Structures are given as structure tokens and as C-alpha cells.
Structure 1
Amino acid sequence: MDDHSEPRWTVIGRSVAYDGRVTLVDHTVLLPDGSQSSYEVDESVPFSVATLVVDGADVLLSRQYRYAIDRWIYDLPGGGGQADEDPRTAAQRELEEELGIVPDDLRHLHTFFMNPGRAAWPTHLFISTAGFTWARPDASDPAEQVRLVRMRLVELDALISRGLVVDPPLIVARALGAATGYLPPLRPVGTR
């Protein structure tokens, strides 16, 4: 589908509204009807990465406390990439830093936008299914306390089906893993 024929906004100015752990940029835009507006965009990182690691009938996930929602969640190991970094390299770095593993294979699964209404950066999803070697995780960021969790795929499916998984990259990776044939179809609660 070609969206070039549909009206777009024109950026006529931009300024950093906030720059900390998050970077918000205030864009002054000209709307298709000729009116001017202001729109804040999260430009915190150039991109993010996340990887679903499959080890036989298990998946290796991270478990982290997420302050913004005040709860511990299951999610995929990953994080922000650097401007001069390739997404695959960033995914490998994040796997080693967070879970202490170096994957034997790393395949691109999909690229999507977590919040296309307010964030400018894509999330690159990867999948690893051919094994890994252990390394030493990096615990240098005290705000990032990551626990490695080995979970049966059927248990993950049950958590997703019951609405207990809230991390979008994990849900998308599970669905795309099945759609691409890397994983069996999602098994809802109560099925075998």
C-alpha cells in the first residue's frame, strides 16, 4: 500500500523539550489543512532491539521490575541501540549484558514501532534457535536488575492467553515465531 498520495505533516521547526533518560522533542508542524500545531515525539534512542531465545521446548526470558507500571514482568532481553550500531550487534550485546549468553545464531524476525503515535524509533525483533554459550552478564546499571528465566513454551502460551504477559515485543515475537514456522502455533489455555 502506497501512502505517498495521502496528506502528511510538514515539520517547520523542532526543539528538545526534555533530555534525560528520555528525550522528548517538540516538533512544530504544518498540518494538511494549513494550520500549525505542536507535537511531542519520543526520540530517546535511534532504535531498540529484543530477542526471543528458544532452547528446545523452552524459551529464555528476562524478568525485570518495571517502575513505570510498578510490577515485575516477563519480557525479552533487549534495549536501546546506539546511532553507530547495527541492530544485530545491539541485540547480541543486550543478550550478553542482560542474560549472559552469546547466541550461536541470530535471525531478524520483524521490525515494528512500539508507539507510532509518539515514538520515532523502531524495534528490531530477533530470534535465536540454534543454541548459545554462557558469558558473564553485565550488572553495571543498578536500575536494571535482570533475572534470567527459563520457561516452557507452553507455560508462556498460557501466560499470554491469560493476559499475564504485558510486554509488546514478547507477544509480537511469540506470534511471529509461530507465523514464520520457528515455533509451533500459540496454544491457548486449556488446549493440548
Structure 2
Amino acid sequence: MPFQPHPSWAALIEDEQQPWRTLSSRELIGPPRRVWEDRVQVRPGVQTTYQYHPRGHQAIFVLPVTDAGDIVLIRQYRYPLRATITEIVAGGVEAGEQLLDAAARELKEEVGGVATEWVALPGFYPQPSINGVVFFPMLALGVSLGEMAHEDTETIERLTLPLAEAYAMLERGEIQSGSSSLVMWQARAELVRRGLL
């Protein structure tokens, strides 16, 4: 069966009608992590200044599951936290790259994985009050593992666990990446439906 985007993905676009009007806009920080400051009119007589990362950036999240019924997570050092945390595979979508191609690339790079089947999960906005990025999660099934190809700036350890054990970690609050936790919860029904969990 060919890959099908999740129905929710179609709704993750800008509204045609905007209730706020932009009065002025300036870029505070340039690429790659742009920050803009806008002066906006919320309604007649009410204005505010808003600092944010603009819309347009997309990222993919991949929850890999092997034929043996194991989940493949990563332990990654996150400099802003000064901590190593458990996450699922994730990364940015490069300019002109299709979402499924980005997911396959990140799966290969971060855990050395190749999937035989992909299932789209509901997309979401991780920090909509300050960030316009859109996340597109996918379940990767039939994953076989090989050599990883980490970037020089990544400190990643591959962690392969039985699905039940990984979900017990989630329930105990041991997976503290909010996006990773949400993707795992969204994938749960599909994993149960397939008899994997």
C-alpha cells in the first residue's frame, strides 16, 4: 500500500483570513533560526509586539519498530538542557525535500534504519505561541538496522527496546521530550491494532 499523508496534515496550513493585521515587521535574528518582531493590531485600539520564529520550517518525527517488535529510540545530548534525554528519531525537512524522503533520511542517519512500511500520524504544532514550525510524525514499520551516519555535531546513542518496555517508560514519565511522547501516544492505537503492543 503506498504511503498516504494523515488527513490532519491538510489542515496544517495558514488560514486564508487573518484576524490580526501586521503593522510592521523586522528580522531580529537571521538564518538558520530566524526570529522576527512584528507590531500587530489585534483589533481596533489594541496593538502588541510579537517575537516569534516564522512559519515555514517543517520537521519530521519517526517512531521506528522492527519486525521483532522492538522500538528504536535514541539517547541524545541536548545542549540547551545540558542533559541527555530519550527521544525518537527526528530532524528538519530540507528545502525541496518530500516529507517521506526526509523521514527515510533521518531514520538512516540517526539509527541506521530502513523501513518496509510507513504510516502517517497526526501532525502538530509544537510551540504555537512562539514558533511557526510544523511537525509531521510517522510510524516506520519493518525496520532493519545497520550502520548509523551521525553528523559531527550529534551525540546520539541507539536504544532498542521491546515495545511494552518503551511504553512503560513513557507511562512512568521517563521520556521527557514532549514531541517524542506525543508521537508515541499517537502511534499507540495503530500498534495495538496490529497486535504489536
TM range (shorter): 0.7 to 0.9
Alignment-derived partner of residue 130 in structure 2: 118
Letter in 1 for 2:191: L
Partner-residue secondary structure (3-state), 2:95: coil
Alignment-derived partner of residue 160 in structure 1: 170
Mapped partners of 1:113, 1:137: distance in 2? 29
Q: TM-score, normalised by structure 2?
A: 0.80
Mapped partners of 1:142, 1:44: distance in 2? 28
Quote the sequence identity (%): 23
Measure how far apart 1:133 and its partner are. 4.0
Q: Tell me, yes or no, if structure 1 residue 105 matches structure 2 residue 117.
A: yes
Identify which range, 64-73 or 165-174, moves more after superposition: 165-174
How many residues matched? 177
RMSD: 2.3
Alignment-derived partner of residue 30 in structure 1: 41
What pairs up with 1:123-138 in 2 under 5 angstroms? 123-129=135-141, 131-138=142-149
Change (3 A) 1:144 1:42: same
Q: TM-score, normalised by structure 1?
A: 0.82
Q: Which runs of 5+ in 1 are unaligned?
A: 186-192
Letter in 1 for 2:139: I
What pairs up with 1:88-99 in 2 under 5 angstroms? 88-99=100-111
Mapped partners of 1:45, 1:134: distance in 2? 32
Change (3 A) 1:45 1:80: farther
Q: Is the CA contact (8 Å cut-off) linking 2:64 and 2:143 kept in structure 1? A: no
Alignment-derived partner of residue 192 in structure 2: 184
Q: Which runs of 5+ in 2 are unaligned?
A: 1-14
Q: Is the CA contact (8 Å cut-off) linking 1:22 and 1:44 kept in structure 2? A: no
Letter in 2 for 1:86: Q
Alignment-derived partner of residue 49 in structure 1: 60
